[in-house]
Amino acid sequence: MSVSSTAEAAFREAYGTGPEGLWAAPGRVNLIGEHTDYNDGFVLPFALPQRTVAAVGPAPDGKWSVCSTLAPEPVTFGVTGPGEVTGWGAYVAGVVWALQDAGYEVPPVRIALDSDVPLGAGVSSSAAMESVVLTALIDLGGLDVPLERRPAIAQRAENVYVGAPTGILDQSASIRCEPGRALFLDCRTYEVEQIPFDLAAEGLAILVINSNAPHQHVDGEYGARRKTCEAAAGILGVTALRDVSVPELPEALERLDDDVMRRRTRHIVTENQRVLDTVTLLRSGRVREIGPLLTASHTSMRDDFEITVAQVDVAVRAALAAGAYGARMTGGGFGGCVLALVDADRAEPTAAAVAAAYEEHGFTAPTSWVAVAGPGATRL
Ligand code: ADP
Ligand code: MG
């Protein structure tokens, strides 16, 4: 069964009636630009074909209810504030709260969710869930929320209600991506440019490899990276590390006396430039040439930002050895997915090469698929 028919069936099962409509929002991979979002920098995600579907209908009791194929017993809540709904339901209660807090009249609804976005794999199942719920509430309530304002509302749900200090990347991707395009986003101004990203036309593919590495210390390490970046910006007297350019980097590094802080800063500054360089190449159709930028991004995450783990390093090495033009970890780090730019007919052998390397290292087997840029959040 498709994800949408499962969501619809879950709605009937939980609430004894059919939904008024179905909405979908995708997971994402970030082509390049890691940890740059909270440094006011640049990112370049595209939407995965995997998505979370919400079957949604009005709630006669004036409250909000949500269930999921992963948690069939509905969670029901009235008007709440951060912390009052906990567990997975907090992502949904957070969206209702964030919309209300932004001044909108949010219609009470019943929701059933199903998803084929892998959870906790660094492709943002949390943003997919927030984005699909947000979009359904906006549509059903007839709320006038411009597209460019929506990601920040979903992000507030995750930051303030759920309590995860994530940047604007994930929700922007899930809400604003378009099929066949990568989303070039300026995380300071929220300006976007839809960059042509039709790999099949070039005989290329992006292979996504889920490392299936257990996520460990993710929140603490993420928070620590954020703090260090903010402290470095403070010492350098800039609003955010985005304000330091590559030519200015040597002098900036001289003014930081902590080696860890220097390396974190170098990652952010060079990573922002790699996003800009990738966009320039894609705009002029030189897709293969982005490969070395992807690989340089990985090296920078591994050595300077120190957010990779053995499983993702092995996947990158094996993909490159199998002939990939470039490969890098994608997402916040400490596990998650790797992406590799390959000739389309090399996707399968590359996935097999990574699987063989995993077996040699005694790692849990990876899961791989070819990702084609799909649509952002929408009513089905
Ligand atoms: P990621 O966003 O990388 O997948 P997170 O830890 O940010 O990882 O979010 C995963 C969490 O989001 C899950 O543990 C669960 O609480 C919630 N979640 C995501 N999708 C669903 C879903 N379809 N049903 C229920 N909960 C979900
Ligand atoms: Mg998440």
Among 140, 123, 122, residue whose Cα is nearest residue 174: 123
Residues with CB under 6 A from ligand 1: 52, 68, 70-71, 88, 91, 113, 115, 119-122, 124-126, 129
To the nearest 10 degrees (0 to 180), the angle between helices 125-141 and 89-101 is 50
In a structure prediction context, what are the per-residue pLDDT tens digits for the chain, which is 380 residues long?
799 999 999 999 999 999 999 999 999 999 999 999 999 999 999 999 999 999 999 999 999 999 999 999 999 999 999 999 999 999 999 999 999 999 999 999 999 999 999 999 999 999 999 999 999 999 999 999 999 999 999 999 999 999 998 899 999 999 999 999 999 999 999 999 999 999 999 999 999 999 999 877 677 899 999 999 999 999 999 999 999 999 999 999 999 999 999 999 999 999 999 999 999 999 999 999 999 999 999 999 999 999 999 999 999 999 999 999 999 999 999 999 999 999 999 999 999 999 999 999 999 999 999 999 999 999 99
Strands (E), the chain: 21-30, 42-43, 45-58, 64-68, 71-77, 109-115, 181-186, 192-196, 204-210, 326-330, 337-343, 367-371, 378-379
Predicted structure pTM score: 0.96
Q: Provide the terminal-to-terminal Cα distance of the chain, rounded to the nearest Å.
A: 16
Burial readout 246-256 (b: 16 or more C-beta within 10 A, e: otherwise): eeebeebbeeb
Fold of the 200-371 domain: Alpha-Beta Plaits (3.30.70)
Cβ neighbors of 59 (< 8 A, separation 6 or more) are 65, 108, 109, 110
Mutate to test the pocket of ligand 1, among 11, 34, 88 (most ligand atoms within 8 A of CB): 88
Give the atom of ligand 1 at the shortest distance from the alpha carbon of 119: 4
Say which ligand is closest to the CA of 52: 1
Amino acid at 347: A
* pLDDT for 78: 98
**Which residue owns the Cα nearest ligand 1 atom 11?**
126
Give the atom of ligand 1 at the shortest distance from the alpha carbon of 88: 16
Among 215, 246, 233, residue whose Cα is nearest residue 329: 215
Separation CA 104–CA 28 (nearest Å): 27
Cβ neighbors of 300 (< 8 A, separation 6 or more) are 266, 267, 270, 271, 274
Strands (E), 127-247: 181-186, 192-196, 204-210
The CA 125 to ligand 2 mean position distance, Å, reads 6
Extents of the domains making up the chain: 3-197, 200-371
Active site residues: 170
**Which residue owns the Cα nearest ligand 1 atom 6?**
120
The CA 129 to ligand 1 mean position distance, Å, reads 7
SS3 318: helix
Cβ neighbours around 144 below 10 Å, total = 8
The CA 70 to ligand 1 mean position distance, Å, reads 10
Mutate to test the pocket of ligand 1, among 119, 171, 221 (most ligand atoms within 8 A of CB): 119
**Which residue owns the Cα nearest ligand 1 atom 20?**
125
Separation CA 168–CA 38 (nearest Å): 7
Contact criterion met (CB below 8 Å) for 24 and 378: yes
Contact criterion met (CB below 8 Å) for 326 and 336: no
**Which residue owns the Cα nearest ligand 1 atom 9?**
126
The CA 130 to ligand 2 mean position distance, Å, reads 10
Q: How far is CA 263 from CA 19, 36, 69, 239, in A?
A: 51, 14, 43, 19
Give the atom of ligand 1 at the shortest distance from the alpha carbon of 87: 16
Say which ligand is closest to the CA of 119: 1
Contact criterion met (CB below 8 Å) for 81 and 100: no
**What is the spatial order of strands in the sheet that 204-210 belongs to?**
326-330, 337-343, 204-210, 367-371
Q: Which CATH number fits domain 3-197: 3.30.465.10, 3.30.70.270, 1.20.140.10, 3.30.230.10?
A: 3.30.230.10
* pLDDT for 217: 67
Q: Which two tokens stand for residue 73?
A: 């017993």
Domains 3-197 and 200-371 share a fold: no
**Which residue owns the Cα nearest ligand 1 atom 13?**
119
Separation CA 185–CA 322 (nearest Å): 31
**Which residue owns the Cα nearest ligand 1 atom 12?**
126
For residue 32, the 8-state DSSP code is S
Say which ligand is closest to the CA of 117: 1
Give the atom of ligand 1 at the shortest distance from the alpha carbon of 331: 3
Could you tell me whether strands 45-58 and 109-115 are parallel, antiparallel, or unpaired per DSSP bridges? antiparallel
The CA 120 to ligand 1 mean position distance, Å, reads 6
Say which ligand is closest to the CA of 27: 1
Among 98, 112, 110, 108, residue whose Cα is nearest residue 78: 108
Give the atom of ligand 1 at the shortest distance from the alpha carbon of 122: 3
The CA 49 to ligand 1 mean position distance, Å, reads 17
